[in-house]
Every structure is written in C-alpha cells, then in structure tokens.
Structure 1
Amino acid sequence: MEITTVSDDVIVLHDGCDVYRYEDLQPATQYTFHGLTVTTLARPEGELLSTFATVNDVHFGEVDCGVIDDDPRGPIQRSRPGEMPYPEIMNQGACAEILATHPAYVIVKGDLTHAGSDIEFDAFRDCYVGHFADKLRVIRGNHDAYLGQHLYDEDVWIEMPGICVALMDTAIPTETTGDIAAGQLAWLSERAASTDLAVLVMGHHQQWTPDPNGGTRRNENYFGINPDSSDALNDVVAKHRNIIGYTAGHTHRHRVRSMACGVPTIEIGCVKDFPGTWAQYRVYEGGVMQVVHRISSPDALEWSERCRHLYADTGMDYESYALGTLAERCFVFPNRS
C-alpha cells in the first residue's frame, strides 16, 4: 500500500487496484490511515482563485509499452485481445477525473502521439478536444515531431486568476533531445516582466541542472533541454522573481530538482503507464499548490499495475523511478516575493 496523493484536504492511498480516499481533512494536520502516517499540505493564505490541470506523455497510437529502441528486454506490456487500446483507457480515465474538477484550463505538455501520424493526432483531438474544447492548450513533444512536423509548436501564454502559464515548445524536429531558442527566452522574459502575477513555465523536455555533487557533466546530447539553453532558462527565471518554477514531462517520472537560482524544476510522470498520473494546480492568493493524482478508474488501475515493473530485465526499478516521492508529487511552491 502506498500514499499516492496528499493535498490540503485530501489523502489518497492505493493498494494495487484498491483505492482509499479520505476527504474533508484539515490542512497541515497529521493523519494515519491503514498504518501509514502523512501530514496534509499547508493551505496557502487567501482565497482560492483558480485551478487547472496538466497531462503529458499520453502517447496515442502506442501498442508496445516498455520498449527502448531495439532492445528486446522487457517486460513489454500490450493490450490484450478484445481490450481497448491502453492509451485510450488511460487518457479517458484522466479526462473523466479532470473534468470533474472543473478546471479553468487543461494543458497538455507534449508527446500527444507515439509516432506523429495523422490517425494518432486525430485520436488525441477526439479525446481531449472532445472533453475540454476551448479550455484546452497544447504543446508538442519529441514523439510529435519525429517526421519533421510543426503541429502545436507555438509558445502559448495562458492567463487566469492569480497566475500565468508560459507553455513553451522544447521539441527539435526529428530529434529526441530538446532546446529552447534565444528568441523564446526573450519572449518569456518580456511576458514575465509584463505581469505582477505568478508565472509557471511549462514544456515537454526536462531542464538540465548542474549536479551539486559534481556527478553530472555537461553534454550536448543530454536527453532533455541542452545545458546551454537550460542555463539560459535559469538566467531568465533568476531575473524575474514572479516565475515560480518550470514543469516538464518526457522522463515518465516524478522528480523535483533545483535550478541554480533555487527555483524548482519539476518532472511529472506519464499518463500512459505506471503510475498513470495527471497534475492539478490550485492557485490561492498566497501561493500555488501542485497535487498529482493517480488515474483510478478500474480499467486504468488494472493496466497501470501491469506496468509497475517495466524495464525490470534491464535492472531498472521502474516503480521507484516513475513514482518518485510523495513530496515530489504534492507540494506548495516556495514563494519568491
């Protein structure tokens, strides 16, 4: 059994496909359920101004889960005969849960598709536009540009009560790695300077950060945003104290690190497999809370549990890698002002 979600008023535990949800709790209060103890998050001061949701790595069209290039090692999971394709199971489950929270916006942070085919893009739109219509905002990921496409490649500025989101394209067509161009960073700097509201930057690829222990070398082939552009992003964030963080997908894991300027740089796990998550952001007058939710429809849990031990043949502990810690999934952003 594991605690999967904690907010200021909700605690959720999962034991395989069984879900235990406790609501109407008090903020900053310790609770024990099923022998596990956790403290609810402190609620930022003031009124709740808005909420919005994000997903990433939804991968419509994927049929082999757990494949790394041409490596035959697994276990590799596939939908069974007669089952709905697993990307549809997971995304339908995510959309239903998000819809019930009445978000101001729903933001998709890339890897909408497996290979960028027209059929896959159509499946994505059928699901997400069908659920959220004009509340939907989208940026591409590397899987959406392997054929050199330019769909969903324009940076988007999203304003809502209490916060602005800068949704930025980090994909390099035909490449796995990511980048943010100088012109994009100038756009971000100008936008951040134009508002007194908190700004949260989002993109598909994770940011490179220096290893405080000296173990991570600069590498232009870094799997995320290349080091030079990552440093330049840090410089913009350092300049504008209303920028509270950067959130990404791409790595299929939950993790929080710090930029050189001390601001959190965050990775959110994928929708498509274990643990199968989406993120909610609650914007208060006094701060912003991130709450990650595990998709909990019965068919989604049955699928994501099958994916708990992906890549085990390679020696990888995917369960720990993908889930991260509770503190990396659910927290209140530090206030820089």
Structure 2
Amino acid sequence: MDCCSPSRRQALLWAGVAAAPLAFAAAEPGAAAAAMPKDALLVTDAEVVTVTDSSVVITWFTGSATQTDRYGAPAPVPADTELLLGEPGNPGSTRTVYHDTAPTAFHHAEVHGLDPGRTYAFTARSAGQDAQQSTLQFPGTGGSSDAPGVFTTLQPPPGRYLFTLALSNDLHMGEQTAGIITGNWPPAFQQDPGLPPYPEVMLEALLDDLRKPDRGAEVLLVAGDLTSEAKPGDVARVRQLLDGWGTLGTDYFVARGNHDRPHVGADYAACTPIPYATDHHDCWGDVFPYPRQTLSVHQVGGLRIVGLDTTTLDAAGGTLDDGQLADLAAELRRDKDRPTLLFGHHPVTYESAVTTAAGPAFDLDQTKARQLEALYHRTPGVFLHHSGHTHRNKRTFMEESQSVEFLEVAATKEYPGGCSLVRVFTGGYQVNFYKTRADLARQWSQRTRGEYYGIWPHYTLGTIADRNHTVVRDLSGLTALRPR
C-alpha cells in the first residue's frame, strides 16, 4: 500500500503549475568548457544557498546549450569555479575571493571571513562567463532579502557560543525513483547505473559534512521519513549509517514519518504486529525503539528536545492522538520555562497548510495543530518546532504570535539536498541551510532540480530569510557541550 498517493485535486494542482520542460536536441555529453564556444556553454542555476554572519555559500551549474543527458537536461560540462565579491553599485570594487581551477559542472563556492550585517555584490563565474540565476523565490514570513547579484550577511546572536544542532529529514532510504506523484507521472529520475543508491549517497554526504569543523554539529535530529517504505533491510541500513555517526538517544534523535509507518503485506510479515491493527507490522519500530504515536524526551546541554510521532496509520497526512497530546502537555507543564525544541514530521501552522502544494490535508490535522499551538502558547520555553514532509525550506509562525518558530527543512535525499544547522548561543540562535558537498551529492541534487517539470526549486529552496536567519532569545540557562 502506498500511503502517499495524491488526491485528484493534488495531482491537478501539480499539473496546473508545471512549466513545460525546455527542449534540447539529444546528443552525447559535451566536451570541456575550454573547448566550447561561449554560446554553447550554459552557466546557470546560481543560488545563494547559505548566508551566515561571516560566510556565504553560492552554487551553480555549467552545461551544454546543445547537448543533453538522458533526461533531456543540459549535459554537464566541467569548468573552473570562481566567485567575486565587491560593493553594490561599485563594479570597480569587485575582486576574486575564491577560485578553484579543478573542473566540475557542479559548482560550490564557500567563502569565510565576511563582515556581519554587510551587503555584498557577487558574481559567480565559470570559463569566464557569469552564472545566471534561474530560481524565483516568493517572499515568506518575515520578508526576504533575495535580490539578483547581492546578499547581506546576518548579525550574529549575542552572547557566548554553546553548541550546534543539525536538523534533517526525508532520507527515504530504499527509494529508487525520485519525483513521482502517482503511477509513472510526472517524469521522474533515477541514479546512473553503477553508482550507489542516491539515498545512501545523500545521507553519507550529509553525515560526512557534519563531522567537518566548518559544520561542527554535535547533535543530529531526523524528523521522519528515514525510509522509503519501512522495509526491514532499508530500516536496518539507515540505522547502520546513523550509528556510524553517533549514538541513538545521545548524539542523534529520530521521529517517525509517514513512510516509516507500520505496513501490511508479505515484505513486513516478520516484523512485530501492532496491537490495534494486527495486519500492520512495525518494521521501523523494531529497529528504532519508539512506539507509534508516543513522544520521546531528551536533554542536551540543558535544552529539552521532544520528538513527536505525527503519523497516521494509512495516510500521508498527520495527526496527534489524544494520549500523546496529554503526555506532551504534562511534560511541558513540568518545566514551562526550560528552553525546548520539538521535532516531528508534519508541519503545523495554518500558513504552512495553505501553502503546501499537496493541500492542507497533507500537513498536521488542523484541529490537532491548533491544540498543539495552544500548548506552546502556555509554555514560554518553547522556541522552535522542526518538521519535514513538504521537502521545502519554509519558516512560519502561529497566528498573532512569533514566540515560536516553525521551521520546515528541505529533504536530504534530493534537491536541494542538505540540512539546517542551528548554532546556539546564550543570547539566541542562528539557522543556516547547507547543501551537501560531496561530488556525487552535488550531481544528484542538480539532476533532481528537474523534478515536477522543473518547478521543484521554486517550491523547495525557500527564500534566503526562510533558510538563513538569526533569532535573539535568552538561552543563558543552557550549557556548552563537550566536543565529540
């Protein structure tokens, strides 16, 4: 059974907004950029992905204007990677700050040492050509600083740095085809023969990045859909990879997503049946010891982390059982002022529901969502709720209150492919989304930009303000974590 087949309305919604794909003549992959005339080389898809108080990450792609890959997209053409920064309105101030001559078609330029709160003009360049922006973002809550050719660094949170959390979701271990809504529609994408499965490529790239000093995550939260359909081998494999990074319940924490729900059928018969629906077997729960519709509570440096199970038994949309809501209310009442971060698979807010492409029923049941928000209103320590499911970066708030940030984080397993880091200080926190950097991960992310007839980036990347922002808040009761 596929829990996530869309309704006719949802399928028509995607069809109605899908842009026609660009037409290219089929051909073999092109030669290196240096051997191509300028009008045969595309330098495109420039994105200001990450903006911190002192750094920026900009990505782009170089491809052939005349030759295509097997999906009809521009064939990759390797070239150099150059980034120039300067003062807006002063072209003479622009200087090269990053230049990697190693040829690649999937460009990733990261520069540190920038000034906080400063606006920079930028030019991303390969083979002497400026990269063009191809993704349109609509302003979200709090506005957006998106503008072609410029970005503004954030102000750092006040106080002393404490620790970094990584927020991720939608790993989909075991998935073999990306971008399908129903049946064989729309055209979808697969990994190239001979390469590792893309969910493993993307998760391994993420975990490797998080170990590096410039990311430095001490704790990882995975908000659901760890697997494609909770088959025993896939659950075991994702647990194996995560255990290679850290210890469950200490270094990393998980919540169940709709794809991780108990299933029916022969593939699941050896797993534990659930007592209230004995034809459903819980293979995910056999590996990750969290019964369905129960919460988990953890402490990290004084921060209370609560994992919620928002899954239904046989549907894509989410809910919270009365028992889990009662348990959560009791937990929050015990220490109302303790800094608290919650995570669960389904988005909560009304704004999220009405802007979700698959419709409001895809998110948390709105009656339960309002009850959850009421709990947060009564709990001053709650400041952040992390979810996945929509595969997009989006920041929303409760109606008439910005006391709690609700943060949807884009999927790890496909474009834009990464996670959000929350750097916690005594006087607040900073959120930044990062794409994964491994070569195969960048290649797969570029391929899956083409999902849903090419509209996927416009929906999933989010505005700069959605995925990069600083929040001032008193978190002085928290303590630093020891290095891993």
| TM-score, normalised via structure 2 length | 0.64
Ranges in structure 2 where 5+ consecutive residues have no aligned partner: 1-45, 62-105, 125-148, 264-279, 476-484
**RMSD, matched Cα:** 2.4
Distance 1:334 1:259, change over 3 A: farther
Distance 1:195 1:282, change over 3 A: farther
Distance 1:211 1:15, change over 3 A: closer
Map of 1:137 onto structure 2: 253
Which moved further from structure 2: 191-200 or 132-141? 191-200
Residue from 374, 379, 389 that aligns with 1:240: 379
**Could you give the per-residue CA deviations for residues 175-217 of structure 1, whole angstroms, max 9, x where no partner exists?**
21111233333333333341533212211011141689xx78x
Contact 1:158–1:166 under 8 Å retained in 2: yes
Contact 1:242–1:336 under 8 Å retained in 2: no
Structure 1 SS opposite 2:246: helix
Looking at structure 1, the residues matched to 219 and 237 of structure 2 have their Cα atoms a distance apart, in angstroms, of 20
Distance 1:307 1:49, change over 3 A: same
Q: Output the amino acid matched with 1:60.
A: M
Residue from 327, 331, 334 that aligns with 2:465: 327
Looking at structure 1, the residues matched to 457 and 362 of structure 2 have their Cα atoms a distance apart, in angstroms, of 20
Looking at structure 2, the residues matched to 184 and 336 of structure 1 have their Cα atoms a distance apart, in angstroms, of 29
**Could you give the per-residue CA deviations for residues 292-333 of structure 1, whole angstroms, max 9, x where no partner exists?**
111121110101100002011xxx711110111111011123
Looking at structure 1, the residues matched to 318 and 441 of structure 2 have their Cα atoms a distance apart, in angstroms, of 30
Structure 1 SS opposite 2:350: coil
Q: CA deviation at 1:241?
A: 2.0
Q: Looking at CA atoms only, which structure, 1 or 2, has the larger radius of gyration?
A: 2
**Could you give the per-residue CA deviations for residues 71-98 of structure 1, whole angstroms, max 9, x where no partner exists?**
x233310011111111111111001011
Map of 1:256 onto structure 2: 395
Looking at structure 2, the residues matched to 211 and 253 of structure 1 have their Cα atoms a distance apart, in angstroms, of 11
**Correspondence 1:156 to 2:296:** yes
Q: Output the amino acid matched with 1:74.
A: P
Structure 2 SS opposite 1:222: helix
Q: CA deviation at 1:113?
A: 0.6
Larger relative contact order (C-alpha < 8 A, sep ≥ 6)? Answer: 1
Q: CA deviation at 1:155?
A: 1.9
Residue from 228, 234, 245 that aligns with 1:114: 228
Contact 2:168–2:223 under 8 Å retained in 1: yes
Map of 1:301 onto structure 2: 442
**Could you give the per-residue CA deviations for residues 149-196 of structure 1, whole angstroms, max 9, x where no partner exists?**
261444222322363222111111222111123333333333334153
Map of 1:166 onto structure 2: 306
Map of 1:179 onto structure 2: 319
Contact 1:6–1:291 under 8 Å retained in 2: yes
Contact 1:162–1:284 under 8 Å retained in 2: no
Looking at structure 1, the residues matched to 151 and 226 of structure 2 have their Cα atoms a distance apart, in angstroms, of 34
Looking at structure 1, the residues matched to 360 and 156 of structure 2 have their Cα atoms a distance apart, in angstroms, of 40
Q: Output the amino acid matched with 1:329.
A: R
Map of 2:188 onto structure 1: 76
Contact 1:57–1:111 under 8 Å retained in 2: yes
% identical equivalent positions: 27
Looking at structure 1, the residues matched to 118 and 381 of structure 2 have their Cα atoms a distance apart, in angstroms, of 29
**Correspondence 1:270 to 2:411:** yes
Structure 2 SS opposite 1:68: coil
Q: Output the amino acid matched with 1:155.
A: L
Which moved further from structure 2: 27-36 or 74-83? 27-36
**Could you give the per-residue CA deviations for residues 11-49 of structure 1, whole angstroms, max 9, x where no partner exists?**
100012101101132322222332732121111111011
Map of 2:128 onto structure 1: none
Q: Output the amino acid matched with 1:2.
A: E
**Could you give the per-residue CA deviations for residues 105-132 of structure 1, whole angstroms, max 9, x where no partner exists?**
2111110111110000011011111122
Q: Output the amino acid matched with 2:54.
A: D
| TM-score, normalised via structure 1 length | 0.90
Map of 1:57 onto structure 2: 170
Q: CA deviation at 1:221?
A: 7.2
**Correspondence 1:6 to 2:56:** no
**Correspondence 1:127 to 2:266:** no
Equivalent pairs, count: 329
Structure 1 stretches of 4+ with a deviation exceeding 6 A read none
Looking at structure 2, the residues matched to 19 and 12 of structure 1 have their Cα atoms a distance apart, in angstroms, of 7
Mapping of 1:27-66 within 5 angstroms? 27-34=116-123, 36-66=149-179
Looking at structure 2, the residues matched to 144 and 161 of structure 1 have their Cα atoms a distance apart, in angstroms, of 29
Structure 1 SS opposite 2:323: helix
Ranges in structure 1 where 5+ consecutive residues have no aligned partner: none
Contact 2:158–2:472 under 8 Å retained in 1: no
**Correspondence 1:96 to 2:237:** no
**Correspondence 1:229 to 2:368:** yes
